[in-house]
Chains A and B, each alone.
Chain A
Amino acid sequence: MAERFTKADWEREHLLAGFDRLHDRLTAWARSAPAWPPFDEARGLVERLDARLRVPEIDLDRALVVGFLGGSGTGKSTLFNALLGRKVSRAGKEFRPMTRRAVVACHPDVDPSFLGLRDDELEIHRLNIPLLEQVILIDCPDPDTQDPEDGRGGERHLDILRAALPHCDVMVHTATSQKYKSHVVGQELRRNAPGRQILFIQTHADVDHDVRADLRVYLDSLGLRVPEVFLLDAADALARQERGEPVAADFARFRDLLEHELASRARHRIRRANLLGLYGWLLGAIRGPVDAGMEAVAKLEEATARERARLAATIAAKMSERVDANRRLWRSRVLRQLNQTWGAGPLAALLGAWSAAGSLVRSLVLLRARTPTQAILAGGWTAVSLVGEKWRENRAAAALTAEADLGLTEGDLAHARTVLQGYLNDAWIHPEPGEDGGDFSAEQLATVAVEVYRRLDAEINEVVEKRVARRAGGTTHWVFETAFALLPAWLVLHLARNFFYDHMIYNKPLLGLDFAVQAAFWCILWGAVVGGLLLRRLNRGLHQELKLVVDRLAHAPVLDALCRDASEACLAVRAHAEALSAVERDLADLERRVGGVLDLGLGALRTESLATSRPEVQ
């Protein structure tokens, strides 16, 4: 191909690529949506409108299709004829309705079959006049004389109107002082506004009052953007043309706008603007229910967080109570840790003996420990695992334990479950029950309980280790060992002096068994004092730290496993709703590049009212 691409061509291709991308992104978004009613609705809408959303349509070098919409007797046919400069469509006041079929005026070269209307629904006039090289005019039947209940047989001109209008790029809305506020016409106008531009005209200018100000207010209340309302008298314009006189300035301006400004120069721009308008409407129509649904989803998330927090608070209160009630248990854990850290040394040995004696007691405590928390405070997870096989094996049993120990009852769960079920229904979220729980069942609570205990153990371990490392490090060890060793050292010195010096040299009697017993007694006492000081140092503030642990645990996401499925479904919906914003940004970007059609004096549906009207869907 020896085509040369000009800059304009490149820009055009670039723009079309933008449309392609918008279409692809929207369809991809609609297809990949998670199951959620507003998304399903969006998918349906996108599928239904797909034919109109496809790009090639907008850049066909086709004539601009202009349709007429207005009440019976507002001069649609007269205006149609006046634009053509001859009587083509039957106009007049003898009958109402006058136009019962779609009257199409087009150039002999144009094939109007793309309108898709049946032969008995339209009459085609092929005229070789310059205007029709650029536009196709469709004179439509009126929307206000057919009774919805008795439109039988060939009388369905309202249906013909509704079949013809979707093919129009531009609608010409005619109104008169008698009919401009007609409810039926207003509804029809709004129904067909998405995705097309509108020219507003007050006809019968020569006989009626100028009501354009009030007309503008009314159109505005319908959600339409109204840059200009033309005031024309088409009957007069036609008469003048037939007499060979020049038409009135207003009419000439209108005809010029339609023929030159719109149809030849801005044709592609209008089509693109229409397509963007349709996208805008579609995204608005999708956005409305999605936003409404997201409110419910947000409520669900809030409720989930609230229920979890409520349960966590109960757990924290109960555990805090347990920490208070079992001081002795966690102190013995500190002692054990100290033993492991210090290893050798006289004081260490003494404390080791102390601990060993204590472990006997502790094992009794472990056996007696009624709850996992008590067991963890005393011996740690491993010990619990050994001792508490019976409640770890069986999840249902664990739930019972959890009930007693975590302070959560089946009633609390029923409460949370029921409330969340309500919010789930409100948000139309129905998570599939997963393989591994994730709901609000007692089994799930057992899993949570195990997790809580594991973390509690780990945290306590860490607190104790850190504490021992910080408060009973090498220096402390040395100082305390030294302090403790002073008495035995002095005693040994005393014994040595007694044996080597007093006894061997001066032959004084040896210190008897009495002394040894006394010395041992004082050593142990001294050891107890020093050890006590040490443990005091170690245990000071431990209570607060354990409370902090419980507090941390209460805020930790241990309860996230409860109702996880629903949270995940919420997140998926939220993420997908946010992905819609990306499509909206694409659209805004494209709109910026295409530019508006406001400068052409064309009206359309205002963007904020896009969501509330429904288009004629092919």
Chain B
Amino acid sequence: MAMGTDEAMDYATWSRRVIDLAEALSRLTARAEAAGLPAPQAAWRANLYQKLVPQASDAPYLIVAVAGGANMGKSTVFNHLVGHPASRVHHNAAETKHPVALLPRGFADRHDLAKVFPGFSLQPWTSEDDAVAEGRHDGLIWREDPSGAQPANLVLLDTPDVDAALPNNWKLAEAITHSADVVVALLTQQKYNDEKIRRFFRIAADADKTVLAVVNMVEWPDDRDHCRGWLTTFARGTGANPLHAYAVPRDRAAARDGRLPFHPLSPLATDPRADLAELHFADIKIRSLRGALRQALDPDEGIPAHLRDLERQSDENRQARAVIHQKVQVKVDLPRPPGHVVAEEIWRWLEPRRTWFDRKVHGAYGALGRAVARWLPGAVEPAEDEARFLAEEKTQLSRALETIYNDLEAVHRVGAPALRRELQPLIAGDQRRRAFEELQARLDAAPLATESYRRAIAERLETFEAEHPRMMRAIEWGLVATAVARPALTIGMFGAADVASGPLFQAGGHAIGQVFFDVAAGSALTAGGEGAFARLAGPARALIGDLFAAFYRERAELLARVVDDCVVGRHLDRIERLAALGESPDFQTAYKLAAELSRELDALEEPPPVAAAAARGG
């Protein structure tokens, strides 16, 4: 059996792009899922992944699925089609929980089953009870035809129901039926016009699948005329035009023994097994592939709609990001630092660099200076100074955290629903308590001068010594002991580059909570040793500013980390990721490919003018 028509060639050129599109989309879905967006549950996914990807390039076989509602006799009919009891028939409803695939002999050797039925966990058939057993929710049972009678290119499928109270059954049935080229639609007088059944087959018919109708449980021959009426209603309600139709009488004994008669209801129908073997494989395959592609690219429900939806979500999140960036900002006035911390570090650095005489002289002056300083009005013990600094710093940081929470709350009040949902857990009481406790714990654990701070000071001093060797004297003579600089500090979200003027240090190297210093801002230079600071020459001034900035950087980084780890970071990270989704290359690729394929499909579907006129004339 060959598929060598012109149209098949078209599909060969398309198959590469379909696969690219599917790959881009699955990467996109994975990213969206990682960011908390639920995976779409639409028909296009089944069309794309169950049908187009496995079958677009090379699939010289037809898949025939028996589908219908609960307790309509799908398994019975399936067993008749395959000629032996392959799927358990149960008189309770919704018992078939897994699709059963009956493959022609040798099929498993020629094909990779995992690619033929992607997304299913494949289980080899052991007994007819496999289909009704509990087990994995995505299980698919397969067996090669033991008799060898099954046509070599025909795969037969039994499916779960589409209307009972187990939604997993519908999902499996929908997914597996999308892969089919031919659907055997089970109908009964009770269910042929049920809304769920109608909708299911309407989707199959829309995808240009070939439909065979089997009216089951018929009072034969009394219902013969009714059957035609039912089929008409079915055709009208679903848009399907069954290729063949059969009536199967209600006969429990015959059903059990596998000898149910199939009475043809359509003029060309003979016996379903014979009719299946004689199907025009190539035409059907191409028609169903094209139908699947059309359904997948449906502008309202297919991939374009999904991409639009993603883009909308992405836009929403970008807006949310902008709102947070604008609104959530806090300026912290850190307290005057304990000058001795910086001074001591400078002395520590100077110590090994001094001569013996220098050291003695400075030692004497130092002792004298300390003694005098103790009695000066306003002088404080270093320990007291540190305690004051820590208390004030804690106060300031707590207030900063309060401001952040108030800002977040304000954003939450006016935000878009998506943003509100995102922010809700952030501003809950438990979360706040954890954040404050964390801040407290980290403040308690952090020493005032850390190793990295020592290194930073040493580096800066060495650079300074190299640049201004003569000015080192001023440093040595202890001006630094009283000079204190206090930079302004801004904490912002999502990069606050526009919030501070002058040179900036970015302290928090984190994704979201970021801290910026503005050392040069004039108003920021206040402190106890202001006078001394003012008297310093430019370079020394910059040096002192830098040294203190390095000190503050360590402290502020603490807050930035807390904000990042406990307050917003991980949560707002999702906003960031979703915002980026619409600009990702995968999105662009998917968008381009979907548009291209849609255009080509439209061109193909448009009937040539002559044919159209002929159709009108006929």
Residues of A within 8 A of B (CB): 71-74, 93-97, 144-148, 176-184, 186, 207, 209, 211, 214, 218, 221, 299-300, 303, 409-412, 414-415, 417-426
Determine if B596 is an interface residue (Cβ-Cβ < 8 Å): no
How close is A168's CB to chain B, nearest CB, in angstroms?
23
Determine if B342 is an interface residue (Cβ-Cβ < 8 Å): no
Top-10 shortest CB links A-B:
A411-B395, A423-B429, A73-B190, A411-B398, A422-B429, A96-B193, A209-B91, A422-B432, A181-B164, A414-B402
* B194→A411 contact, CB < 8 A: no
Contact flag A412-B92 (CB < 8 Å), given A418-B436, A419-B436: no
Cα of A120 to Cα of B132 in the assembled complex, Å: 46
How close is A531's CB to chain B, nearest CB, in angstroms?
38
Residues of B within 8 A of A95 (CB): 193, 229, 233
Between A and B, 8 residue pairs with Cβ closer than 8 Å are: A145-B193, A179-B70, A181-B71, A181-B165, A183-B167, A186-B165, A410-B395, A418-B405
User: In this complex, what residue of B is CB-closest to A296?
Assistant: B429
* A425→B428 contact, CB < 8 A: yes
Cα of A392 to Cα of B255 in the assembled complex, Å: 98
* 0 or 1 for each of B389-416: is its CB under 8 Å from A? (1 = yes): 0010011111101100110010000000
Residues of A within 8 A of B394 (CB): 409, 411
Determine if B452 is an interface residue (Cβ-Cβ < 8 Å): no
Determine if B93 is an interface residue (Cβ-Cβ < 8 Å): yes
How close is B568's CB to chain A, nearest CB, in angstroms?
14
User: In this complex, what residue of A is CB-closest to B162?
Assistant: A183
Contact flag A176-B427 (CB < 8 Å), given A211-B92, A414-B401, A422-B433: no
* A412→B94 contact, CB < 8 A: no
Cα of A97 to Cα of B193 in the assembled complex, Å: 8
* A184→B163 contact, CB < 8 A: yes
* A147→B199 contact, CB < 8 A: yes
Residues of A within 8 A of B165 (CB): 181-183, 186, 218, 221
Cα of A96 to Cα of B234 in the assembled complex, Å: 10
* A177→B71 contact, CB < 8 A: yes
Residues of A within 8 A of B432 (CB): 418-419, 421-422
Contact flag A425-B229 (CB < 8 Å), given A73-B190, A178-B188, A409-B394: no
Cα of A71 to Cα of B193 in the assembled complex, Å: 11
List B residues 235-289 near A (Cβ within 8 Å): 250
Choose among A72, A96, A176, A299 the residue with the greatest number of B CB atoms under 10 Å from its CB. Answer: A96
User: In this complex, what residue of B is CB-closest to A151?
Assistant: B195
How close is B200's CB to chain A, nearest CB, in angstroms?
12
List B residues 424-460 near A (Cβ within 8 Å): 427-433, 436
Cα of A418 to Cα of B406 in the assembled complex, Å: 8
How close is A572's CB to chain B, nearest CB, in angstroms?
19
Determine if B223 is an interface residue (Cβ-Cβ < 8 Å): yes
Cα of A221 to Cα of B166 in the assembled complex, Å: 12
Residues of B within 8 A of A94 (CB): 226, 229
Cα of A146 to Cα of B406 in the assembled complex, Å: 50
* A146→B190 contact, CB < 8 A: no
* 0 or 1 for each of B164-188: is its CB under 8 Å from A? (1 = yes): 1111000000000000000000001
Contact flag A409-B198 (CB < 8 Å), given A93-B226, A418-B432: no
Residues of A within 8 A of B402 (CB): 414-415, 417-418
* B93→A178 contact, CB < 8 A: yes
* B429→A73 contact, CB < 8 A: no
Contact flag A412-B398 (CB < 8 Å), given A182-B70, A214-B92: yes
* A93→B189 contact, CB < 8 A: yes
Residues of A within 8 A of B429 (CB): 299-300, 303, 419-420, 422-426
Determine if B545 is an interface residue (Cβ-Cβ < 8 Å): no
| Total count of chain B residues near the partner, CB < 8 A | 50
Cα of A300 to Cα of B69 in the assembled complex, Å: 51
Determine if B192 is an interface residue (Cβ-Cβ < 8 Å): yes
Determine if B325 is an interface residue (Cβ-Cβ < 8 Å): no
Residues of B within 8 A of A96 (CB): 189-190, 192-194, 230, 233
Residues of B within 8 A of A300 (CB): 429
Cα of A531 to Cα of B223 in the assembled complex, Å: 123
Determine if B196 is an interface residue (Cβ-Cβ < 8 Å): yes
How close is B429's CB to chain A, nearest CB, in angstroms?
3
Determine if B334 is an interface residue (Cβ-Cβ < 8 Å): no
A221, A411, A412: the one contacting B396 at CB < 8 Å is: A411
* 0 or 1 for each of B45-84: is its CB under 8 Å from A? (1 = yes): 0000000000000000000000001111000000000000
How close is B356's CB to chain A, nearest CB, in angstroms?
45
A146, A148, A179: the one contacting B191 at CB < 8 Å is: A179
Cα of A184 to Cα of B391 in the assembled complex, Å: 65
How close is A431's CB to chain B, nearest CB, in angstroms?
15
List B residues 284-298 near A (Cβ within 8 Å): none
Q: A146-B195, A176-B190, A422-B430 given. 16 additional CB < 8 A pairs?
A: A96-B192, A144-B163, A144-B194, A177-B91, A178-B93, A178-B188, A180-B93, A181-B94, A182-B163, A214-B92, A300-B429, A411-B398, A414-B399, A418-B402, A418-B406, A421-B405
List B residues 143-166 near A (Cβ within 8 Å): 163-166
Choose among A146, A176, A179, A411 the residue with the greatest number of B CB atoms under 10 Å from its CB. Answer: A411
B92, B196, B229, B397: the one contacting A411 at CB < 8 Å is: B397
* A72→B194 contact, CB < 8 A: yes
Residues of A within 8 A of B166 (CB): 181
Contact flag A71-B194 (CB < 8 Å), given A182-B70, A409-B391, A418-B405: yes
* A303→B433 contact, CB < 8 A: yes
Residues of B within 8 A of A423 (CB): 429
Contact flag A178-B70 (CB < 8 Å), given A71-B190, A214-B92, A419-B433: yes
Cα of A409 to Cα of B387 in the assembled complex, Å: 13
* B93→A421 contact, CB < 8 A: no
Residues of A within 8 A of B406 (CB): 418
How close is A599's CB to chain B, nearest CB, in angstroms?
30
Cα of A303 to Cα of B192 in the assembled complex, Å: 60
* B405→A422 contact, CB < 8 A: yes
Residues of B within 8 A of A178 (CB): 69-72, 93, 188, 190-191
Contact flag A183-B190 (CB < 8 Å), given A178-B69, A300-B429, A411-B395: no
Cα of A181 to Cα of B188 in the assembled complex, Å: 16
Cα of A412 to Cα of B397 in the assembled complex, Å: 10
* B195→A144 contact, CB < 8 A: yes
Residues of A within 8 A of B431 (CB): 422
Choose among A147, A181, A221, A424 the residue with the greatest number of B CB atoms under 10 Å from its CB. Answer: A181
* B163→A183 contact, CB < 8 A: yes
* B427→A425 contact, CB < 8 A: yes
Cα of A351 to Cα of B395 in the assembled complex, Å: 48
* A410→B164 contact, CB < 8 A: no
* B194→A145 contact, CB < 8 A: yes
Residues of B within 8 A of A182 (CB): 69-70, 163-165, 194, 196
* A147→B93 contact, CB < 8 A: no
User: In this complex, what residue of A is CB-closest to B399?
Assistant: A414
User: In this complex, what residue of A is CB-closest to B69?
Assistant: A178
A74, A177, A410, A411: the one contacting B93 at CB < 8 Å is: A177
Cα of A420 to Cα of B406 in the assembled complex, Å: 12
How close is A203's CB to chain B, nearest CB, in angstroms?
10
Residues of A within 8 A of B430 (CB): 299, 422
* A422→B192 contact, CB < 8 A: no
Cα of A148 to Cα of B198 in the assembled complex, Å: 12
Residues of B within 8 A of A221 (CB): 165
Cα of A184 to Cα of B70 in the assembled complex, Å: 13
* A184→B401 contact, CB < 8 A: no
Residues of A within 8 A of B250 (CB): 207
Choose among A72, A176, A177, A414 the residue with the greatest number of B CB atoms under 10 Å from its CB. Answer: A414
Cα of A97 to Cα of B409 in the assembled complex, Å: 54
How close is A169's CB to chain B, nearest CB, in angstroms?
27
How close is B336's CB to chain A, nearest CB, in angstroms?
16
Residues of A within 8 A of B195 (CB): 144-148, 184
Residues of B within 8 A of A179 (CB): 70-71, 93, 190-191
Cα of A135 to Cα of B409 in the assembled complex, Å: 59
Residues of B within 8 A of A146 (CB): 195
How close is B194's CB to chain A, nearest CB, in angstroms?
5
